[in-house]
Amino acid sequence: MSGIYIHIPFCKQKCHYCNFFSVASRKLQKGFMEALIAEIELQKDYLGNEQVDTIYMGGGTPSLLTAVEINRITENIYMHFNVSEDTEITLEVNPDDISQEKIEKLKETPVNRFSIGIQSFFNEDLKYLNRLHDAKQAVFSVKGLQDAGYENISIDLIYGIPTLTKERWIKNIRSFFKLKIPHMSAYALTVESKTALHWLIEKKKALCLDDEDIAQQFNILLDLMNRNNYIQYEISNFSKEGFYSKHNSLYWLGGFYLGLGPSAHSFNGYSRQWNASNISRYISLINYKEITFEKEILSEKQRYNEYIMTSLRTVWGCDLEHIQNVFGRKYRDYCLLQSEKNINEGTMVKKGNKLFLTTEGKLFADGIASGLFKI
Amino acid sequence: MQIMKNIRNFCIIAHIDHGKSTLADRLLEYTGTISDKDLQDQVLDNMDLERERGITIKSHAIQMSYNFQDERYTLNLIDTPGHVDFSYEVSRSIAACEGALLVIDATQGIQAQTISNLYLAIENDLEIIPVLNKMDLENAMPEEVKDQIVDLIGCDRTDIIEASSKTGYGIDNILENIISKIPAPQGNIDAPLQALIFDSIFNSFRGIIAYFRIFNGKIHKRDLVKFVATGKEYEADEIGILQLKQEPRSVMLAGDVGYIISGIKTSREVKVGDTITHVDRPCEKAIEGFQNVKPMVFAGIYPIDPDEYEELRSSLEKLQLNDASLTFLPESSAALGFGFRCGFLGLLHMEIVQERLDREFDMNVITTVPNVSYRVKTNKGETLEVHNPSGLPEQKYIDHIEEPYISAQIISKSNYVGSVMKLCIDKRGTLKNQVYLTSDRVEITFEMPLGEIVFDFYDKLKSISKGYASFDYFQSGYKPANLVKLDILLNGESVDALSTLIHRDNAYEFGRKICVKLKELIPRQQFDIAIQAAIGSKVIARETVKALRKDVTAKCYGGDITRKRKLLEKQKKGKKRMRQVGNVDIPQQAFLAVLKLD
Ligand SMILES: Nc1nc2c(ncn2[C@@H]2O[C@H](COP(=O)(O)OP(=O)(O)O)[C@@H](O)[C@H]2O)c(=O)[nH]1
Ligand code: SF4
Ligand SMILES: [Mg+2]
């Protein structure tokens, strides 16, 4: 099982909290497309003979691509990779790009899953985040795609926005239920360094976040999703049975993936590499037939640490037997010993050979994971 | 009595950064002792730590030779430590010389450290050669600084040598003055051996190497010698002079400076200030001025990982091999488990030990709040030496407590005198003397409790005087004190390693500040942490570290994984440097929080 991620580094404007690599100018989009097609061929052996089960166009804003461009990308991938019959092909879209006309065009592409960046159904919150769309466009993007026959839809929601009250958060989740969407990624707003939001808060030009609110909204989320039969298959991801994102799961289950486009990451089991975050440099690969990337070879400890960090966040849990098989008895014993404290304080449970975070523990996933790390 | 007319023994007295090491390098260069290619900056400061901090911790010695008016002279430069913690060692180095270069930075003027060492040199009858260094700098103020020097030592203005250790200007002049002004050593070669140990170093192959200056008699290789203060006897396996390397000799005479290797394994056997003599023909009297150096400051040192207790012990033992002034005894703390109560010469010495443990032995340790040595008089009339607040007997057995006092010398620009005085008075000092050295430099002398210096006196002094005030002290005796034990409680549990003895009048203010500081340093955990300061059962200050409400990243996809892993690995490393007390994780630096109160 493996996947291909394509990074489309263009946006119409930058959201204040965003720390993804993307630029708010589209003048390099044509050159980028040519480079991308070239990179697909250059990297055709990266996944070896692994079958590709998921293709994911993320960004940036992939909904800025035309249907023709999308088809060109997918066709080139089909040409060079062993893509399975029922591949999941996801397109991230921003609501402001979704018109009836656009939907008609998208129907001509093989995209079969949409991930919509809604974030909130309230204009006040969208404004705080500096999103381009409004509440009406948010609803339309979902309904429009559903009416066109797409069922496999996911939306992103953000909680912990200072303008988002507890009541409004509940309403956001209820809107999601009402729209009968099978999948949601819910993220706590995070103030990353070097973002506009960081600067605005620093300068007291934007309200700052409150940990207490974030924790409360996280708990509300878990409770409502659980009561409506959504499975929290990863800390930020909720789904009805049968709608888990293949692509997301790949990251947490140690699958291989090839990342294409500037800043995209690839992983082949023992090393991870990432393309330079620079569009002009990326475009130059057409001439030099060489990709600029950085690479780290993961040590045994690092691979173990990554397994701990990702597996604990999932519904599948952290498998001690897997640790023993892959890393050896010493790692297994270490992991078990370190987790004792968490089990006693109720942030973790052990079922059979597997460790899981409890609801309480999920709020502290990072600290708990680092506690089990080996350095 | 003979005069060794071709030998000169001298040292350099200088305040930190005034150019002692640079000048020494120039002297070595001008006398051809080292070639350009050996000339790594500051040859004499050869411990990494010394180089980084730009201070000389241990003194060293080096021999040069110089031709002057067709005569060949042997010049022994004895380098002296540059910090008040090591003033006894300085006094012994001075005692080994007949003269001293008084090096003053022409842009800075005279500092307290210079003065106290200068007084030591004058007491020892050394010939003083004043050198005005850094004359190449534009902001040099030669006339003003010369005024200070003339006032201070009463020399002739024209005797002051203008120099630059950087450009080499004046170096020849200095060398000539060393020969023409500093008296040649005198001694009786035929008298019983009498040599002063002024320093020692540890060498992992050869054991302890002692540095000495012979006052009378001579020493041969293979002689049986005795160290008077320790009473121990050894065979002189090797003796020799100190150049860039040790140069073995078969005999050395009165007036010479050199080293002896005699199979000594631990530094405790070689005491600075001790006298070397012969076993079968001992000298009548030891050289005067020997003291057993006593630690002035005490603190607990505990391994962060309790399993490393034995490793810590062996690391401290190894440190002690070349640092005889470090003492340690096992102790235990309810909060920290097993560790050692260590004695240091002063705060800098303490920091150096902690840093060397980390660098040379990879030992992560917690150093607890330092304190001085108290004398507790019990109502049965006994006197107990207490080195640890938790070692105090119960209140009902205590008649009174006495604490050590120092005489502190501070030199400051006169416009800062007001704030310096206020600081000293806040630290329970009494003004003893005030002298204007020049129209805008004042020397003030305070008597104050050593315990007050141990906290944050030095940093404060620096900041209120914009770095201009300098400070030196010596211990002046014990006085009764109105001390209380201030305990720190975390979530209701007293953490003994954070207890301090403090003057009753300062306890409230101090308690409040330490709570605020700890709040800053203790990371948020999954529960509220109450920090309280208490005297007995009475809580006098309180702060709360609010519970951490969440600690989870939103996203964890392809690109986030590396970044996140690195972040969490860093966190894990941080955690490894924390100590759990009760259920509260306390970082290493919190134990020294009291030193950093503002
Ligand atoms: N410009 C100038 N700088 C000097 C001179 N002598 C020493 N320095 C500099 O002053 C600083 C302190 O010198 P150092 O010899 O380490 O001082 P020490 O602490 O007394 O040993 C160093 O940066 C030297 O390079 C000098 O004559 N002229
Ligand atoms: S649309 Fe996405 S990638 Fe673009 S600025 Fe907003 S958050 Fe960043
Ligand atoms: Mg120096």
Predicted pLDDT of residue B114? 79
Chain A (164-203) residues lying within 8 Å, Cβ to Cβ, of chain B: 187-190
Number of H helices, E strands in chain B: 13, 35
Could you tell me the CA-to-CA distances from B155 to A314, B15, B49, B127 in Å, in that order? Answer: 82, 20, 37, 11
DSSP string, B556-594: -SHHHHHHHHHHHHHHHHHHHTEEEETTEEEEGGGGGGG
Residues with CB under 5 A from ligand 3 (ion): B 21, 56
Option in B555, B561, B569 nearest A373 (CB): B569
Is the CB of B552 less than 8 angstroms away from the CB of A259? no
Q: CA–CA separation, B85 vs B108, rounded Å?
A: 22
B53 Cβ closer than 6 Å to some ligand 1 atom: no
**Which ligand has the nearest atom to the CA of B164?**
1
Residue B483, phi then psi, degrees to nearest 5? -105, 145
DSSP B102: E
Predicted pLDDT of residue B558? 80
B26 Cβ closer than 6 Å to some ligand 1 atom: no
**A212 close to B (CB below 8 A):** yes
Q: How many CA atoms lie within 13 A of B169 on its CB side?
A: 12
What does the block give as tokens for A301?
Answer: 């400890």
Q: Find chain B residues with C-beta within 8 A of A367's C-beta.
A: 548, 551, 571
Are A277 and A218 contacting, i.e. CB atoms less than 8 angstroms apart?
Answer: no
Are A69 and A33 contacting, i.e. CB atoms less than 8 angstroms apart?
Answer: yes
Give the tens place of pLDDT for each residue, A197-233.
999 999 999 998 888 999 999 999 999 999 999 999 9
Chain A (51-70) residues lying within 8 Å, Cβ to Cβ, of chain B: none
Whether pLDDT at B578 is above 90:
no
Atom of ligand 2 nearest to the CA of A92: 2
Query: How far apart are the CA of B590 and the nearest CA of chain A, in angstroms?
Result: 21
Is the CB of A367 less than 8 angstroms away from the CB of B551? yes
Are A339 and A332 contacting, i.e. CB atoms less than 8 angstroms apart?
Answer: no
Atom of ligand 1 nearest to the CA of B16: 19
Is the CB of A272 less than 8 angstroms away from the CB of B562? yes
- Confidence band for B84, pLDDT divided at 50, 70 and 90: low
Q: CA–CA separation, A4 vs B408, rounded Å?
A: 73
Atom of ligand 2 nearest to the CA of A19: 8
What mean pLDDT comes out for the span B547-564?
A: 86
Atom of ligand 2 nearest to the CA of A59: 3
Are A185 and A115 contacting, i.e. CB atoms less than 8 angstroms apart?
Answer: yes
What does the block give as tokens for B10?
Answer: 């001298």
**Which ligand has the nearest atom to the CA of A94?**
2
Q: How many CB atoms lie within 10 A of CB B284?
A: 8
Atom of ligand 1 nearest to the CA of B133: 27
A244-257: b (≥16 Cβ within 10 Å) or e: bbbbbbbbbebbbb
For residue A178, the one-letter residue type is: K
What does the block give as tokens for B45?
Answer: 């400061």
Option in A187, A234, A364 nearest B551 (CB): A364
- Confidence band for B395, pLDDT divided at 50, 70 and 90: confident
Predicted pLDDT of residue B83? 64
Name the packing angle between helices B558-576 and A300-311 (round to 10°).
100
With 0-12 / 13-18 / 19 or more C-beta atoms within 10 angstroms meaning exposed / middle / buried, residue B271 is: buried
B134 Cβ closer than 6 Å to some ligand 1 atom: yes
Are B275 and B195 contacting, i.e. CB atoms less than 8 angstroms apart?
Answer: yes
Are A46 and A273 contacting, i.e. CB atoms less than 8 angstroms apart?
Answer: no
Give the tens place of pLDDT for each residue, B208-247.
889 999 999 999 999 999 999 999 999 999 999 988 778 9
- Three-class secondary structure of residue B199 per DSSP: strand
What mean pLDDT comes out for the span B51-75?
A: 74
Q: Name B119's Cβ contacts closer than 8 Å, sequence gap at least 6.
A: none
Residue from B546, B568, B570, B572 to probe the interface with A (highest A Cβ count within 10 Å)? B568
Closest-CA residue to B108 (of B47, B18, B189, B19): B18
Whether pLDDT at A158 is above 80:
yes
The lowest-confidence range among A47-61, A334-348, B185-199, B316-330 is B316-330
Predicted pLDDT of residue B1? 83
Closest-CA residue to A173 (of A242, A132, A105, A219): A219
Does an H or E element contain B495, and which? none
Are A248 and A316 contacting, i.e. CB atoms less than 8 angstroms apart?
Answer: no
β-bridge pairing B127-133 and B99-105: parallel
Atom of ligand 2 nearest to the CA of A60: 3
Task: Please report the sign of the dihedral spanned by the C-alpha atoms of residue B255, residue B259, residue B264, residue B265.
Answer: positive
Predicted pLDDT of residue B573? 86
Name the packing angle between helices B309-321 and B347-361 (round to 10°).
110
Whether pLDDT at B516 is above 80:
yes
Give the mean pLDDT of chain A: 95
Task: Please give the span between the terminal C-alpha atoms of chain B, in angstroms, as a whole number.
Answer: 59
**A373 close to B (CB below 8 A):** yes
Is the CB of A370 less than 8 angstroms away from the CB of B553? no
Whether pLDDT at B38 is above 70:
no
Residue from B557, B560, B573 to probe the interface with A (highest A Cβ count within 10 Å)? B557
Does an H or E element contain B462, and which? helix B458-464
Give the pTM: 0.66
Are A135 and A123 contacting, i.e. CB atoms less than 8 angstroms apart?
Answer: yes
**B307 close to A (CB below 8 A):** no
β-bridge pairing B337-344 and B365-367: unpaired
What mean pLDDT comes out for the span A11-22?
A: 95
What does the block give as tokens for B346?
Answer: 């002063």
DSSP B393: P
Q: CA–CA separation, B273 vs B201, rounded Å?
A: 14
Whether pLDDT at B81 is above 80:
no
CA-CA-CA-CA dihedral for B305, B311, B313, B318, to nearest 10 = -130
Does an H or E element contain A371, and which? helix A365-372
**Which ligand has the nearest atom to the CA of A21?**
2
Q: CA–CA separation, A373 vs B565, rounded Å?
A: 9
Q: CA–CA separation, B394 vs B534, rounded Å?
A: 16
Chain B (31-50) residues lying within 8 Å, Cβ to Cβ, of chain A: none
Atom of ligand 2 nearest to the CA of A22: 3
Ligand 2 atom 2 nearest Cα: A60
B52 Cβ closer than 6 Å to some ligand 1 atom: no
Residue from B364, B526, B549, B550 to probe the interface with A (highest A Cβ count within 10 Å)? B550
Across chain A, which distance is largest between two alpha carbons, in Å? 59
Option in A236, A305, A371 nearest B554 (CB): A236
The lowest-confidence range among A156-165, B46-55, B338-347, B426-435 is B46-55
The lowest-confidence range among A269-273, B24-28, B86-90, B379-383 is B86-90
Query: How far apart are the CA of A101 and the nearest CA of chain B, in angstroms?
Result: 32
Ligand 1 atom 18 nearest Cα: B17
Closest-CA residue to A159 (of B551, B552, B554, B556): B554
Q: Find chain A residues with C-beta within 8 A of B564's C-beta.
A: 309, 366
Query: How far apart are the CA of B548 and the nearest CA of chain A, in angstroms?
Result: 8
What secondary structure, in 3-state letters, does B289-301 show?
A: CCCCCCCCEEEEE
Could you tell me the CA-to-CA distances from B485 to B38, B384, B499 in Å, in that order? Answer: 55, 17, 7
Whether pLDDT at B7 is above 70:
yes
Give the tens place of pLDDT for each residue, B336-374.
889 999 999 888 888 889 888 988 888 989 888 888 999
Residue from B364, B565, B573, B577 to probe the interface with A (highest A Cβ count within 10 Å)? B565
Strand partners, A30: none
A356 Cβ closer than 6 Å to some ligand 2 atom: no
DSSP string, A164-216: --HHHHHHHHHHHHHTT-SEEEEEE----TTSHHHHHHHTTSSPPP-HHHHHH
Is the CB of A211 less than 8 angstroms away from the CB of B572? no
Q: Which residue has the tokens 């001085």?
A: B372
What does the block give as tokens for B412?
Answer: 């400051």
- Three-class secondary structure of residue B212 per DSSP: strand
Predicted pLDDT of residue B55? 41
Is the CB of B554 less than 8 angstroms away from the CB of A365? no
Domains and CATH numbers, chain A: 2-252 (3.20.20.70), 300-370 (1.10.10.920)
Who wins on pLDDT, A159 or B590?
A159
Q: CA–CA separation, B335 vs B285, rounded Å?
A: 50
B322-358: b (≥16 Cβ within 10 Å) or e: bbbbbbbeebbbebbeebbbbbbbbbbbbbbbbebbe
B165 Cβ closer than 6 Å to some ligand 1 atom: yes
B16 Cβ closer than 6 Å to some ligand 1 atom: yes
Helices within B182-326 (DSSP H only) = 309-321
With 0-12 / 13-18 / 19 or more C-beta atoms within 10 angstroms meaning exposed / middle / buried, residue A25 is: exposed
Whether pLDDT at B378 is above 80:
yes
**Residue B209 CA to ligand 1 centre (angstroms):** 29
- Confidence band for B35, pLDDT divided at 50, 70 and 90: low
CA-CA-CA-CA dihedral for A330, A333, A334, A338, to nearest 10 = 180
Closest-CA residue to B535 (of B506, B571, B564): B506
Predicted pLDDT of residue B59? 44
Who wins on pLDDT, B460 or B202?
B460
Give the mean pLDDT of chain B: 88
Q: CA–CA separation, A268 vs B247, rounded Å?
A: 61
Chain A (331-370) residues lying within 8 Å, Cβ to Cβ, of chain B: 345, 347, 362-367, 369-370
| Percentage above 70 pLDDT, chain B | 94
A18 Cβ closer than 6 Å to some ligand 2 atom: yes
What mean pLDDT comes out for the span B125-136?
A: 96
A15 Cβ closer than 6 Å to some ligand 2 atom: yes
Closest-CA residue to A187 (of A15, A10, A368, A348): A15
Alpha carbon of residue A364 to chain centroid: 20
Q: CA–CA separation, B251 vs B464, rounded Å?
A: 55
Q: How many residues does chain B have?
A: 598
DSSP string, A116-177: EEEE-SSHHHHHHHT-S--HHHHHHHHHHHHHTT---EEEEEEE--TT--HHHHHHHHHHHH
